Amino acid sequence: MIDFQTNPDSYKHWKLSFDGPIATLSMDVNPTATQFDGYELKLNSYDLSVDIELYDAVQRLRFEHPEVRAVVMNSAKEKVFCAGANIRMLAGATHAHKVNFCKFTNETRNSIEDASKNSQQRFLCAIRGTAAGGGYELALATDYIMMADDSNSAVSLPEVPLLAVLPGTGGLTRVVDKRKVRRDRADVFCTLEEGIRGQRAVTWRLVDEVVRGSKFEEAVKERALEMAASSYRPANAQGIELTPLVKEQQDNSVTYPYVSVEIDRIDRVATVTVHAPETGVPTDLSVEEAFAQGADFWPLAVCRQLDDAILHLRFNELDTGTLIFKTCGNADVVAAYDEFVLENQSNWLMREIVLYWRRTLKRIDLTSRTMLAYVEPGSCFVGVLAELLFSVDRSYMLEGQLEDAGLPAATIRLTAASFGPYPMSNGITRLKTRFLGEPETVDACKSRLSENLNAQACDALGLVTYTPDFIDWDQETRMLIEERASFSPDCLTGMEANLRFAGPETMETKIFGRLSAWQNWIFQRPNAVSKKGALQLYGTGARPEYDLKRV
């Protein structure tokens, strides 16, 4: 069972240090502290365990250290920055793990870019030694890349010539889209095993600056201070501790204070229910009181729990093909918290909570499962929780009441949360994506802000897919689950990913759309993974045997 919870005291692969507005995040991978048995993490190569710690560190830098304005990423090992994803791990991992691993590493690097863009926490990568494959992809996620000008330091993406796979963490896209490397030069670079070093790397825009070894550390510090000076992060703010999650795990369930996951193994369905707090409407809440609650502040606490639940389902419940999202609790309480967070965006913590929700909702968008939402009596799809409705493939809303339930009819309430703060990877809101061909419907929805919309109103606005009454509800939902379970999971993954991201193309959609699809395919091709494929033969001295037909 893979656990995504960790903390700096438990890190085996990273070291965090602080000097005023500058943090240093040093990669120092323990070769024997692997996620699975059967390989060693030599040369600062990484597996999922390394990236779980990196994700945790990036989160803590944002929430626990608001005073940090620039982060230097470097290596604690001599003559190597990072050798990339561990080849033995990739060769021995299941196909599903490889693909989920690449997706998680992509999301983690996106979170670094998000911290730079939206939290003004700038990242500088200081490369001494080799930065190969995923190691260079890690550097590509930062704002500024500095490399020592010596015989040991070089950057490379050698996956194509050495392994017959693609760089798995957005390297190809970032080289041409972000670094804006000329296409022919990018072609040369991505087929050079030894990579590129020195001034040539600067000329080709693969790095921003090279510095002679004796002056390297001083130059890195100088650039970091310059980056910190350009940030508006609060210099004297106190952070909040991301305390360990309270989580109870059983064979068929995972339970947090505000999120519960129930797994039906026969139908291969997981029901994820998000709960509103049981307290009353927080009418007199102040930012100071919210800050005093720390990680227990409901908007932050529920986001952390939902994020962890989605990662758990992705990696540990591979046979669970359908996720059903439900909500439960007082909609007025949810709306009040939602409004409070959005109205206090001048406060760094409230801003970080919105950004965390944005990343978590994107993680849901990108999860390769059929996703449904059930809007039932007692639901609280309001504010940011309403975004769950627009993340799913289909939504079912009960019209009227269930017999003998004693709860009022289900409603949905739209707020400002659905019209800007939480864009998808395509850069626009879920409602704009949903109504791409009818923008007037977005305006119609906006005119109904803060109303409790019943099933008939939601159906008229196009906010839900179907609105069965209590007579048809059980049959309709049962048939939906049975139908979905009868389809090919591979076809569903492809279909759902194609349908979810209408609208503009961004670097994120390219990485997850193009790369994830092609990496998924290439990871199964005999040229890479057969007994005579490049990934299996790497390091043996034997030449791979390729099927030479282009497909």
> Three-state SS for 417?
helix
Cβ(140)–Cβ(170) below 8 Å: yes
* pLDDT band at 372; cut points 50, 70, 90: very high
Task: Give the number of domains in the chain.
Answer: 2
pLDDT of amino acid 523: 86
Which tens digits make up the pLDDT trace of 43-63?
Answer: 999 999 999 999 999 999 999
Q: Which of 147, 148, 146, 131 is nearest to 214 (CA)?
A: 148
Element (H, E) at 225: helix 213-229
pTM of the model as a whole: 0.96
**Furthest CA-CA distance within the chain:** 78
Residue 513 placed within a domain: no
* pLDDT band at 407; cut points 50, 70, 90: confident
515 pLDDT above the threshold of 90: no
Q: Are residues 73 and 156 in the same domain?
A: yes
404 pLDDT above the threshold of 70: no
> Three-state SS for 150?
coil
Give the percent of the chain with pLDDT over 90.
90
pLDDT of amino acid 182: 98
Rounded to the nearest angstrom, the gap between the alpha carbon of residue 364 and the centroid of all alpha carbons in its chain is 8
Q: Are residues 279 and 364 in the same domain?
A: yes
Which tens digits make up the pLDDT trace of 126-149?
Answer: 999 999 999 999 999 999 999 999
> Three-state SS for 264?
strand
Residue 264 domain boundaries: 248-499
Q: Are residues 274 and 164 in the same domain?
A: no
Which tens digits make up the pLDDT trace of 215-274?
Answer: 999 999 999 999 999 999 998 899 999 999 999 999 999 999 999 999 999 999 999 999
* pLDDT band at 282; cut points 50, 70, 90: confident
Q: Are residues 473 and 386 in the same domain?
A: yes
**Do strands 70-75 and 22-27 pair parallel, antiparallel, or not at all (unpaired)?**
parallel
Q: In the listed set 175, 199, 229, which residue is the last one of a domain according to the structure?
A: 229
Mean pLDDT score across all residues of the chain: 95
Q: Are residues 191 and 256 in the same domain?
A: no
What is the DSSP secondary structure assignment for residue 470, as one 8-state letter?
H
Which tens digits make up the pLDDT trace of 526-551?
Answer: 999 999 999 999 989 999 999 999 88
Q: Are residues 280 and 142 in the same domain?
A: no
**CATH code for the domain in which residue 79 is found:** 3.90.226.10
Distance between CA atoms of residues 169 and 515, nearest Å: 8
Which tens digits make up the pLDDT trace of 447-505?
Answer: 999 999 999 999 999 999 999 999 999 999 999 999 999 999 989 988 998 899 899 99
Residue 506 placed within a domain: no
